[in-house]
A and B are shown apart, each in its own frame.
Chain A
Amino acid sequence: MAENPSPPRLPGKSQPLRPIRATPDGVGISVDYMNSIIDRIEDLVLVAQSQKPIAGNNIQINFTAQGAVINAVTQ
């Protein structure tokens, strides 16, 4: 059966995060892994900051709590 293609990766240098496993002594996390979490979050912030919609011709955008409402400009 054909499968849908995977969505493109987030832009940036970060890699997808993998879940960590617990050990009998608790949870250990390395400095490298902590920094990969931070890299991933910072990439996510960059994507979010760059995705603000911008109106094109005959388009008006109002930012509301429910989202960015797109309207056609009437005059």
Chain B
Amino acid sequence: MIRPRLSKVASGTRLTTDLVNDIINRTEYAADLLRQYKLVAGNGMYVEPHYDGTRVSYLQPVGGGATPRQPIFNDGTNPNNPATIEEAISYYDLESQRTIPNNATKLYFTMSSFTRFTLFSTFMMDVGFADGQIRRAGQATGAGGFYYTTGFDVNFTAGSGRPSYSGFLTTVEFLFPYPYEPPDPRAKPLAFAVLPFGVN
């Protein structure tokens, strides 16, 4: 509750119960604001108290400050981004790239590296989980006429963000593309991006 601003006292003013209570109430109002504004880290963040302020950072191994790791795009046009899946695996310390019997490609994201991320691709894709469940990413038509997913948020907040999954997930595998299969030349993602949020 907002408490009124305190007025200055004049000489001869009585130190009344009302005046003391006004002072107490105004002090408690400020204290309540400070309690509300105390910073608490949510998913993928951490709060580090310093004597001269509070630093908020992403929970990622960066050099300091709130700079998230940059997303990767394998569209092959940006020399600063991994151009191949192999480079992406190396950059993000992913487990491996494997080939399954139908020659579609899987990407394994180890949960020791990511707890949460969003995946975009120019193709629809099935996302398979270590417990055998499959989630299919959405699809929409882009301005350039090609297809892209609307984004797939795999929420793996430790201990609480996966109530619908059974067992302990240690690996997520991305199976793409869908629905094409080699040797169909369309069985190749035009581009994909991974945006990680937080690490274990």
Residues of A within 8 A of B (CB): 4-5, 7-8, 29, 31, 34-35, 37-38, 41-42, 44-45, 47-49, 51-53, 56, 58-60, 62-72, 74-75
Give the Cβ gap from A45 to chain B, nearest Cβ, in Å. 5
Q: Once the chains are docked, how many angstroms separate the CA of A64 from the CA of B39?
A: 10
Give the Cβ gap from B145 to chain A, nearest Cβ, in Å. 24
- Across chains A and B, the number of contacting residue pairs, with CB separation under 8 Å, is 103
Indicate if the CB atoms of A31 and B9 lie closer than 8 Å.
yes
Instruction: Say yes or no: A4-B39 contact (C-beta < 8 A), given A31-B10, A56-B66.
Output: no
For B29, the chain A residues whose CB sits under 8 A away are 45, 48
Indicate if the CB atoms of A75 and B42 lie closer than 8 Å.
no
Q: Once the chains are docked, how many angstroms separate the CA of A4 from the CA of B51?
A: 9
Instruction: Say yes or no: A72-B39 contact (C-beta < 8 A), given A31-B10, A41-B23, A45-B29.
Output: no
For B198, the chain A residues whose CB sits under 8 A away are 72
Size category, B interface: 35 or more
Instruction: Say yes or no: A70-B51 contact (C-beta < 8 A), given A31-B11, A38-B6, A42-B6.
Output: no
Complex partner residue of B39 from A38, A53, A56, CB under 8 angstroms: A53
Indicate if the CB atoms of A71 and B66 lie closer than 8 Å.
no
Residue B87 lies at the interface, judged by CB distance under 8 Å to chain A: no
Instruction: Say yes or no: A31-B51 contact (C-beta < 8 A), given A41-B27, A48-B37, A68-B36.
Output: no
Chain A contact residues: over half helix, strand or loop, or mixed?
A: mixed
Instruction: Using CB atoms, name the residue of chain A closest to B45.
Output: A70
Instruction: Using CB atoms, name the residue of chain A closest to B58.
Output: A72
Q: Once the chains are docked, how many angstroms separate the CA of A52 from the CA of B33?
A: 8
Q: Once the chains are docked, how many angstroms separate the CA of A65 from the CA of B32?
A: 10
Max chain A Cβ within 10 angstroms of own Cβ: one of B27, B33, B68: B33
Max chain B Cβ within 10 angstroms of own Cβ: one of A49, A58, A67, A70: A70
For B31, the chain A residues whose CB sits under 8 A away are 48
Give the Cβ gap from B12 to chain A, nearest Cβ, in Å. 8
Residues of B within 8 A of A (CB): 5-11, 13, 15, 23, 26-27, 29-31, 33-45, 47, 51-52, 56, 58, 66, 68, 116, 118, 151, 153, 155, 197-198
Q: Once the chains are docked, how many angstroms separate the CA of A66 from the CA of B36?
A: 7
Give the Cβ gap from A73 to chain B, nearest Cβ, in Å. 9
Extra A-B contacts (4), CB below 8 Å, given A48-B29, A58-B68, A66-B38: A68-B40, A71-B44, A72-B58, A74-B116
